[in-house]
Structure 1
Amino acid sequence: MVNSLIHPKQGDKANSAWFEEFLVRLLENRDRTGLSDMIREIDALMITVEPGCSAAYVSELALMTPYHYLVTLESESHWTHILRIDMESPDLLVREVRDPGRGDIFRSLNEVYPIGAHKPNSRYMGEIFRVSNLHEVVEQQKGREIRFFNQDQIRKLELPGNMAIVKPSPYTHNVVAYWERPPEDMRVYALGNSVILDEVNRGYHAAKAIQEDLGLDKLIRPIDHLATRVYSQNREVAILEYLTLSSYYYWGSYDIANQNSSTNVTKSIHYADERISPAKVFTAANQPYFVNHLVGLPSPTENFVRNYGPRLHHLALAVADGETGNQANIDYVVDAIRARGKDFLLDVIGSREEGLKQIFSSASEHSSLIIEYVQRFGDFDGFFTKQNVAELTHAAGVEENLRLLQAESEAANPLVNA
């Protein structure tokens, strides 16, 4: 039997007694009932973008990530582009809403937040887990009061019909989906008609040619982790809910005190290599927004959630260890991509002596997601350094404040910005 509690906890962030009690009880129950063994790796990630934006976003991802455009699934109201590295790393499903007036539950999650409403269709949706027994997983999760979309709802949402999809979390606004696929089988999504869109294909090939000419294809590795931001009061329940829905374990939490924040990490019990199943990170403020004037600290994490809603903040990609042209690979990658017009929020931070270097890109204008690059040196086995996280959190907060001002300006002056 799998033991999800075998890993020693990392970090310096104190949790409540309630969290510590139910962490043990939930994982012991998950192991005992076989869920931990039946739920395997993250097989795919789902992202939705605004009408007319997916071709440009696929091109952006083709330059900045190892992903390749495979095919487009055409349904009545969406284009769903399948991007793949290989069968060992998760696919990306990039969905474009074809009708700007179309509404659904995912759009409604954006519309109540000032920046989220500015791009109502742009959001990360969630993860698809491969499972060994779909019926048993769903029945057990229903017994835990997990709520699923029914098949008619999945059809109307134009999501793949060969999976069970949990309704959006009240804590993260993300979904988790399950599908049964023998590991030796290809990933095939039961949705619409398969086509190759010329605009998407041309943009993809042009971006990949640039990536290969620059040698970036040999340096940028698959996704290392996914980072979700939640409200301060939902930190512990968001973590435990995800552990209930997945086969991940609690790696630990670090307090980033000078940014009034904490970083909380969960990892797969089945795969130590994050390229197979990325770590899932939860970031939350230590104090709610209404005491900021009393504690006298910045609150970039809580501000993000208030402006965008709870959601994924960034996708982090690993960069191969080593040097290119007398630069650390991450410095070379960033300089090359910056020269192609992509902005970054700060210079690369960290050092070889500290064990790793990291950087955030500016948020994508197409998906609102940030790309993080991280290079770990030698045998460094840590996940991050607290100082790096503090600097990244601060830099992202500065950009998000500017985006809020822009959104408020455009809302107040619609004719000027039309």
Structure 2
Amino acid sequence: MTGEFRNADSVLLARVEQVLQERKALGLEGLVGGLETVVFGVEPDRLKAAAAEFLDTTGYFFGTALDSPEATACVLQLPGSADFLLHARKFGPSPFDAEPRGPKSAHLPHTRVETLVFLCYDLERFVTIQKARGVRFMSPVALRSEASLFIQTEPSAKSALSYGFVQWLKGGRQYHGGHFREAEWSLPKPDKAHLRNIGVFDHASVRVRARERDNAIVEFLELTNYDYSLSVYVDVLNSITNVARLPGEPYAMVITSGLGEAAGGQPGPTEMFIKNYGRRIHHIAFRTERIRETFAGLKAAGMEFLVELVGSPEEGLRQTFSRPLSNTLMVNEYIKRYEGFDGFFTKSNVTLLTKATENQ
């Protein structure tokens, strides 16, 4: 390292403790729940192809098609898991257009995970508190439909993600009404045995710059009721994987950065990913039963991988990364957790998985 800057958990932990105290003092505790929906922007001519690709590589099913004057969309669903809402804008600029793209993402300029939407139990109160803290939202008030109240932040200067918050008014997830109406098209679920082994959405990993590591984690904690859990350092690859969790919820938020200034001017995999693709979510992970059969089935169906299966039952975890998918640029992780293991790496595979991202 150059000595100019290096992330340190002692600094982060002090800020995390301050966030937890402020959440309680401001009355934010208990207002935000788990992840409800992942909003994924895709190219206008690739919406159906991207949805079909998702159905063919996960356990998800087609839920409903949606249409509005501004966008066409569809919802992909799996019981017990967050929904994925894929949408394509019909015209006009995107709030994410200002985020620089890299040479490997420039051909799909509108393709990225845009917004992570979390359940909120009292949205008007939440918005009032967060506005007083200086949080900037994309609408002056929450958007109301028959089924929900919804608001989202402006894209973050730390992570390039937007965070959305929804209060369901009819007891469950309903996306039509208000902005969207139902459309009359659908896509079939491929009848492949290995897809039945793929389960709920486990985590997403967003890549941020080393200097924004603490800010990105703190921002996420300030907006949700998640708690900082752990950081895994891979010094040899100039990488830190940071995890936030909400007790009882399947989804974990993973924020990955470099350690600091690149040693000798040589960037690690995280910095190279940002250079090639821009700041964005690198991979989305799905819990997978019978992972060996699933891996073999995906390979036989034509999926290519960045790394072979790594880990073991004795270590508590087995996992792999796909190559980026053609219509979304997304890497899929397939992860098998043994006997309640809730970590993200084993001692033997953390370096292998981090280094695998160099192959993108």
- Report the TM-score when normalising by structure 2: 0.90
Whether the 8 Å CA contact 1:71–1:83 is kept in 2: the answer is: yes
In structure 1, the partner of 2:221 is: 243
In structure 2, the partner of 1:194 is: 182
Matches within 5 A, 1:300-319: 300-319=269-288
Whether the 8 Å CA contact 1:73–1:191 is kept in 2: the answer is: no
Whether the 8 Å CA contact 1:52–1:98 is kept in 2: the answer is: no
By how many angstroms is 1:392 displaced?
1.6
By how many angstroms is 1:161 displaced?
8.5
Whether the 8 Å CA contact 1:357–1:376 is kept in 2: the answer is: yes
- The AA in structure 1 aligned to 2:87 is R
Matches within 5 A, 1:274-285: 274=250, 278-285=251-258
For structure 1, which segment, 256-265 or 388-397, has the greater mean C-alpha deviation from structure 2 after superposition?
388-397
In structure 2, the partner of 1:71 is: 64
Q: Deviations over 1:215-262 (max 9, x none)?
A: 531x11101111011001111111001000111000010101121101
- The AA in structure 2 aligned to 1:36 is E
- The AA in structure 2 aligned to 1:164 is I
Q: Deviations over 1:297-345 (max 9, x none)?
A: 651101111222221111000112xxxxxxxx11210110111111111
- The AA in structure 1 aligned to 2:306 is L
Aligned length: 352
Whether the 8 Å CA contact 1:39–1:246 is kept in 2: the answer is: yes
Tell me how large the CA RMSD over aligned residues is.
2.4
In structure 1, the partner of 2:152 is: 165
* Unaligned segments of structure 2, at least 5 residues: 1-5
* Unaligned segments of structure 1, at least 5 residues: 1-12, 321-328, 400-418
Structure possessing the higher radius of gyration over alpha carbons? 1
Among 93, 96, 116, which residue is 2:88 paired with? Answer: 96
- The AA in structure 2 aligned to 1:109 is E
- Partners of 2:67 and 2:113 in 1: CA distance: 20
- Partners of 1:35 and 1:137 in 2: CA distance: 7
- Partners of 1:183 and 1:224 in 2: CA distance: 26
**Distance change in 2, residues 1:149/1:381 (3 Å):** closer
Whether the 8 Å CA contact 2:32–2:119 is kept in 1: the answer is: yes
Q: Deviations over 1:130-173 (max 9, x none)?
A: 11111100010111111111259989xxxx98411100110100
- The AA in structure 1 aligned to 2:257 is A
Q: Deviations over 1:190-234 (max 9, x none)?
A: 32321132xxx2xx31xx2333xx2531x1110111101100111
- The AA in structure 2 aligned to 1:90 is A
**Distance change in 2, residues 1:182/1:268 (3 Å):** farther
- Partners of 1:187 and 1:154 in 2: CA distance: 14
- The AA in structure 1 aligned to 2:346 is T
Among 260, 269, 274, which residue is 1:287 paired with? Answer: 260
**Distance change in 2, residues 1:117/1:386 (3 Å):** farther
Give runs of ≥4 in structure 1 deviating > 4 Å.
151-155
In structure 2, the partner of 1:176 is: 163
* Residues 1:135 and 2:121 aligned together: no
For the residue of structure 2 that corresponds to 1:385, the secondary structure is: coil
- The AA in structure 2 aligned to 1:165 is Q
For structure 1, which segment, 249-258 or 102-111, has the greater mean C-alpha deviation from structure 2 after superposition?
102-111
- Partners of 1:103 and 1:386 in 2: CA distance: 45
For the residue of structure 2 that corresponds to 1:338, the secondary structure is: helix
* Residues 1:209 and 2:224 aligned together: no
- Partners of 1:317 and 1:334 in 2: CA distance: 12
* Residues 1:21 and 2:10 aligned together: no
